[in-house]
Structure 1
Amino acid sequence: MADAPSTNAAPAFLVALREALGAAAVLIGPDVPERNRNDWSMQQPARPIAVVRPVDTAGVSMAMKACRAAGVPVVPQGGLTGLCGGSRPEDGWVALSMERMVGIEEIDPASSTMTVWAGTPLELVQRAAAEAGFYFALDLGARGSCAIGGNLSTNAGGNRVIRYGMARELVLGIEVVLPDGTVMTSLNKMLKNNAGYDLKHLFIGSEGTLGVITRVVLRLHAQPQCTMSALCALPDYEAVVRLLGEARRGLGPLLSAFEVMWPDYWDVVTKRVGVRSPLQQQTGGNGKEVYVLVEAQGTDEAIDGPRFERWLEKLMEDGALTDAAVAQSVADTQAFWALRDACAEFVSVLGQNISYDIGLPVKSMADYAARCKAALAERIPGCDSVYYGHIGDGNMHLVAWVPGMGPGLQPKEQMDEVIYGLVREFGGTVSAEHGIGTAKKKWLGHARSEEEIALMRLLKGALDPLGLLNPGKVV
């Protein structure tokens, strides 16, 4: 790989851009930070010729115009926590980082909205909403690092989609810089606005291939006044589906999370990671037990707490559950979530592994998990896998690995063929919440028709005819 050019040998357009935006805004050649060379997809680090770090929309527009005139590709970057290569540059590209476009511009209590800059970390958005007496519902494990612009560009999901929807459901307005530098400002605050095409949805979920998000108007909700949670053991997946129906009927709009862990996942987190189970029954007797974390958010603890407990007690009386534990404190709730979030520790106990994010019809998930586990073991000698996910919103995660194989040696291509081949057979999607980027581009046709992909390419060509904004990603 050739070395990036030194500042003195930098292209003229970068020198001019640096003079216009300031030295801190344009890092050239050897000044390019290591973090901007890759994202969490862990592909081979690249060498962008520069990192441009504007402080406002005008700076983004200027950068896009300069790169377009020079014919240099641009990749937008937020918190760089993506898992599919969507924010990874290629050698010779310019990385356009939102890291200095941070802050809360306005909180409007009357419209229950917050206007923020795209580089603002998700956790900062959540905290600002809470301090103002509101709740921003999007939540995921990378909350402290990921940027809200990246969350929207990938249409992030997270833990509470079953109640609040995906990221696109939490956005009312958007400001975007198009590939030619044009600024489209549509910072709408109204829940109802049917004046023509709802253009924000072109850019939410497009992974920075159609435009660069600079500011957004977020939809806020009332702050929950109480949270109830229970960890349940069930005899099989059929009982899980019935429990999901009972939760929707019995808890209604209070239901905020429904996390499912298959027995193989449960064994890893309780026996190998070492997270303590609050259940009396540590592992069941038939090998088919499935574990569910149910969470509900209410507005009145005196009413909603007893309601949640009565709902759970009736299920126990009816024999729907094998075992259950109800959180009595915030610490209990955190302990329950620690079981679900223990997948972050898998590298330390399993070694190198490959994680997958797929979507499936809820009723088919158990059949998929069983067939996939068997197919991986048959196709790849020694391959093991575990299954878990949000389930209530149709999202399954799985982790596959061959013990003892080091970094870069896991047979990912063979795993992909098995996992995504079965996804197509079951009528699912190869990406439920992580996007496509470059890592899943090969498999897009397993989830989208030829006509859908052709329309995606038509939109890309219309907005970016020179193909300079994040080229080669998604389609």
Structure 2
Amino acid sequence: MDGRPAIVQSTSPTNDDTFLNLLCDGFGDSVLLGEAIPASCFSDWTGHAACRPLALVSPATTEEVAKLLRLCNDHHRPVVPQGGMTGLAGAAVPSADSIAVSLCRLTGVESVDRDAATMTVRAGTTLQTIQEAATQAGFRYPVDFGARGTCQIGGNIATNAGGHGVIRHGMTRDQVLGLEVVLADGRTIDLMNGMLKNNTGYDLKHCFIGSEGTLGIVTRAVLRLAPPQGESHTLLCGLPSYPAAVALLHRLRSAGLALEAFEVMWQDFYTMSCGWRDGQLPLPTSYPLYLLCEAEGDASHLEAALEAALETGEVEDAVLASSTTQARGLWAIREATGEFPVKLAPINFDISLPIPAIGDFVETAGKMLQQRWPGVRIVNFGHIGDSNLHLTVDGRSLTEDTPATRHAIESAVYQWVGKYRGSISAEHGIGLLKRDFLHHSVRPEALNVMHTLKQALDPHGILNPGKVLN
């Protein structure tokens, strides 16, 4: 025995037909069955373990979510919450006996408090809708990433999504002041705090942010808004080494600039991305590293910092965007990741490491992978300013791209992450894909506490079973 509290699983759930009759009687047209369930609900962006659920239910109110969970809990039916299905860890993948719960109808911006700089939203609202509403109100919602038009804020909260802007504004967790959450037994807890200061005991909302729907279903949220972005500058630099990148990070911060992004691309990534594009290269492909930086502040401060970095050799060459169009062109190089599923057979790693150790990890992990799988192709990039490295192995370069080989590669990389005291997930979550490797980042005592919390809030184990925890 490992000391974990046991999750009680039903051994005799209600007959499928009987339960589905109860479901349809209670939720009518909100229920889809069999062939009527769209394939988009079978898996997330990974395509992992695609499966049609027993039923898909789309509640339109918190009360309907609570009613549904009471029914499923009473009959010991597994429930899989689903948002925009843009996840990258398999957290929203259903099982054949599960009830998938789509929050696509639970949408809308309820209110904006301009005095407090907050916004109250329903969980199914897309990130882009929230960003546009914030802009219209004279603010901005600073969390951003490529799936903005599809992903939903409930999913962002459930996975504690990161993306661009984390270096300055933090993760989704840092934007959430309050939540409304429905527990496994249908109880609704109102944590809809709208104040920055509220020091009243346990801050329960943090139990649900990043829990990937295993402890409760988020239905509403109060979000912090940021002031509109001021004068912003986009810079691409060629660097001689990883230590030079860290030195430049310190230099730019010391120059009185607010860094919105600090994206480092290793030569392998930059060369590959530029090779996918026609036209003139902004910088030659000969530098070991490339930095894409977006900073807010006085242009003269940035220019002075860049001049000093060129003099000391921290920067060997640079391009400062002179227009929005040119800035977008520089960002297009970094955003080549959107083409990975089409042009590669990617084995993606989203890891966090201590900033000083990232360069050494890239070199060490690369050598290890090349020794074990000769000729393997690896590309590296990351949000280095917030400790996040993305390492991608191209399965097409393997002699055999099999599930067993992929698992062996994942095991090898995550073992090294553990040795560096890093995190196996920086921003994508655990879900199904990383569950078996969680012990490399979370110590046994902490894992036991996580199991204890799961048992307390979901004793029948109906909420997203098999995700995050075994």
| Deviations, residues 351-394 of structure 1 (Å, cap 9, x unaligned) | 31211101111111111111111111111233111110101100
Which amino acid is the alignment partner of residue 366 of structure 1?
G
Task: Tell me: CA distance 1:226–1:406, structure 2 relative to 1, closer, same or farther (3 Å).
Answer: farther
CA distance, structure 2, for counterparts of residue 406 and residue 134 of structure 1: 51
- After superposition, where does 1:312-351 map in structure 2 within 5 Å? 312-349=306-343, 351=344
For 1:11, what is the secondary structure of its paired residue? helix
- After superposition, where does 1:42-441 map in structure 2 within 5 Å? 42-252=47-257, 254-274=258-278, 276-279=280-283, 282-284=284-286, 289-298=288-297, 304-349=298-343, 351-403=344-396, 409=402, 411-441=405-435
Question: Among residues 438, 445, 457, which one is paired with 1:444 in the alignment?
Answer: 438
Which amino acid is the alignment partner of residue 383 of structure 2?
H
Task: Tell me: CA distance 1:314–1:381, structure 2 relative to 1, closer, same or farther (3 Å).
Answer: closer
Structure 1 position 103, deviation (Å) = 0.8
The question of whether the paired residues in 2 share the 8 Å contact of 1:270 and 1:276 is answered with no
CA distance, structure 2, for counterparts of residue 174 and residue 404 of structure 1: 45
CA distance, structure 2, for counterparts of residue 10 and residue 468 of structure 1: 16
Structure 1 position 273, deviation (Å) = 4.8
**Structure 2: 5+ residue stretches without partners:** 1-14
Structure 1 position 10, deviation (Å) = 6.0
The question of whether the paired residues in 1 share the 8 Å contact of 2:53 and 2:95 is answered with yes
Which amino acid is the alignment partner of residue 71 of structure 1?
H
For 2:97, what is the secondary structure of its paired residue? coil
The corresponding residue for 1:5 is none
Which amino acid is the alignment partner of residue 291 of structure 2?
V
The question of whether the paired residues in 1 share the 8 Å contact of 2:39 and 2:52 is answered with no
The question of whether the paired residues in 2 share the 8 Å contact of 1:352 and 1:405 is answered with no
Counting aligned pairs with the same residue, the percent is 43
Which amino acid is the alignment partner of residue 462 of structure 2?
L
Which amino acid is the alignment partner of residue 341 of structure 1?
E
The question of whether the paired residues in 2 share the 8 Å contact of 1:352 and 1:406 is answered with no
CA distance, structure 2, for counterparts of residue 320 and residue 339 of structure 1: 21
| Deviations, residues 190-232 of structure 1 (Å, cap 9, x unaligned) | 0000011111100000010000000000000100132111111
| Deviations, residues 383-430 of structure 1 (Å, cap 9, x unaligned) | 111110101100000110243669973621121022111111111111
Structure 1 position 41, deviation (Å) = 2.5
**Structure 1: 5+ residue stretches without partners:** 1-8, 299-303
CA distance, structure 2, for counterparts of residue 398 and residue 175 of structure 1: 36
Q: Output the TM-score relative to the length of structure 1.
A: 0.92
CA distance, structure 2, for counterparts of residue 340 and residue 177 of structure 1: 38
440-449 or 375-384: bigger deviation: 375-384
The corresponding residue for 2:23 is 17
The question of whether the paired residues in 2 share the 8 Å contact of 1:78 and 1:99 is answered with yes
Structure 1 position 236, deviation (Å) = 0.8
CA distance, structure 1, for counterparts of residue 352 and residue 465 of structure 2: 26
The corresponding residue for 1:470 is 464
| Deviations, residues 77-125 of structure 1 (Å, cap 9, x unaligned) | 0001111111111111000110111110111101100111101111111
For 2:233, what is the secondary structure of its paired residue? strand
The question of whether the paired residues in 2 share the 8 Å contact of 1:428 and 1:447 is answered with yes
Q: CA RMSD in A?
A: 1.8
The question of whether the paired residues in 1 share the 8 Å contact of 2:173 and 2:209 is answered with yes
The question of whether the paired residues in 2 share the 8 Å contact of 1:352 and 1:407 is answered with no
Task: Tell me: CA distance 1:14–1:403, structure 2 relative to 1, closer, same or farther (3 Å).
Answer: closer
CA distance, structure 2, for counterparts of residue 274 and residue 415 of structure 1: 33
The corresponding residue for 2:5 is none
The question of whether the paired residues in 2 share the 8 Å contact of 1:382 and 1:402 is answered with no
The question of whether the paired residues in 2 share the 8 Å contact of 1:231 and 1:336 is answered with yes
CA distance, structure 2, for counterparts of residue 212 and residue 101 of structure 1: 12
The question of whether the paired residues in 2 share the 8 Å contact of 1:85 and 1:438 is answered with yes
Q: Output the TM-score relative to the length of structure 2.
A: 0.93
The question of whether the paired residues in 2 share the 8 Å contact of 1:430 and 1:443 is answered with yes
The corresponding residue for 1:301 is none
The corresponding residue for 2:32 is 27
401-410 or 262-271: bigger deviation: 401-410
The question of whether the paired residues in 1 share the 8 Å contact of 2:239 and 2:315 is answered with yes
Structure 1 position 62, deviation (Å) = 0.7
The question of whether the paired residues in 2 share the 8 Å contact of 1:48 and 1:93 is answered with yes
Where relative contact order (Cα < 8 A, 6+ residues apart) is larger, the structure is 2
Which amino acid is the alignment partner of residue 259 of structure 2?
L
CA distance, structure 1, for counterparts of residue 447 and residue 194 of structure 2: 32
Task: Give the length in aligned residue pairs.
Answer: 454
CA distance, structure 2, for counterparts of residue 386 and residue 323 of structure 1: 22
Which amino acid is the alignment partner of residue 310 of structure 2?
M
